[in-house]
Amino acid sequence: MAILIDATKRVLVQGITGREGLARTRLMASYGTQVVAGVTPGKGGQTIEGIPVYDTVGEAWEQSGPIDISVLFIPAPLVKSAALESIAAGIKLLVIVPDRVPIYDVLEIADAAQRAGALFVGPNTLGVLSPGQGVLGMMGGRAASAREWFFPGPVGISSRSGGITTSMAYYLAQAGIGASTLVHVGGDPIVGLPHPAVMRLFEQDPATKAIVMFGEIGTSQEEQVADLIEAGALTKPVIAYIGGKSARSGTRFSHAGAIIEGGRGTHEGKVARLRDAGATVVDAFNNIPAATRDVLARIGALEPKGAVS
């Protein structure tokens, strides 16, 4: 199993004829993702990589059949209208790749998604990847590298940094530890599926035995994960690393959502809160594989491929 993407999901690409849309469609299709249609207004009737292109999401649904997921490669000012179009058509998961989406647009998308029972990842996300099953967005860069770097296993990965999402999965794989799903939640202050929501999905996934999380200063996502652990809503072990230890108040750390204001969202506070709740928090990024191996061994989930030779 996996969360969000697997081989059965039917995927639409909005903005498929653009440079990014075309390049990432090649990645997704080559990796095995079931990309069934693309949409670019005014470009309907074309075929991209063997995938039919339509003018509207409604037309794509009517001609290609029901669609589970839409991946958006749309200029930021147009993201809201494209997202609302997909939600109105009945698509239940959106992956919003672009950054610089206006925050009020994100709030409107979130409201529409909630009313429709839909979910969205991002904005400002590399996407989602389930090793051996499918990729949404641009995780892994190329299909060949994604196949080489990642393999299936018992660890779910949730991260606020795109580069660190792939880095964690890569170094875990080098240590013989595979992943169930990689999720880059997005680097903006407001995202559709923040860490706590991703944790709830991993909690329900039988293939995920432990969760590795990269957190940052700013927002309360990591503290909310601690709340879930304490409430018993998250029972699977969490291994966490929190970036931004040296950041000062008012200074943005890497991403738009990674900023300390008035003493809130600090590195120290997040580390203490997670440790108090029972999570394993490492002090250095390169300690993640060893800590994860120890946790998997403790719960009897260290698979043969990850066994110490």
Q: Which domains does the chain have, with CATH numbers?
A: 1-124 (3.40.50.720), 150-301 (3.40.50.261)
Catalytic residue (choose from 184, 195, 255, 267): 255
Name which of 122, 142, 132, 183 is nearest 28 in CA terms: 142
Across the strands, what pairs with 51?
48
Q: Is the pLDDT of residue 262 over 70?
A: no
Q: What is the reported pLDDT for 307?
A: 42
User: Is 255 a catalytic site residue?
Assistant: yes
Q: At residue 45, what are phi and psi to the nearest 5 degrees?
A: 100, -15
Of 136-150, 172-186, 259-273, the poorest mean pLDDT is in 259-273
What is the pTM for the complete model shown?
0.92
> pLDDT (tens digit, 9 = 90+) per residue, 13-30?
999 999 999 999 999 999
Q: What is the reported pLDDT for 219?
A: 83
Q: Buried b vs exposed e over 215-248: b needs ≥16 C-beta within 10 Å?
A: bbbbbbbbbebbebbeeeebebbbbbbbbbeebe
Give the distance, in angstroms, between the CA of residue 127 and the centroid of all CA atoms in the same chain: 5
Q: Is the pLDDT of residue 257 over 50?
A: no
Name which of 62, 125, 46 is nearest 18 in CA terms: 46
For the chain, the residue count is 309
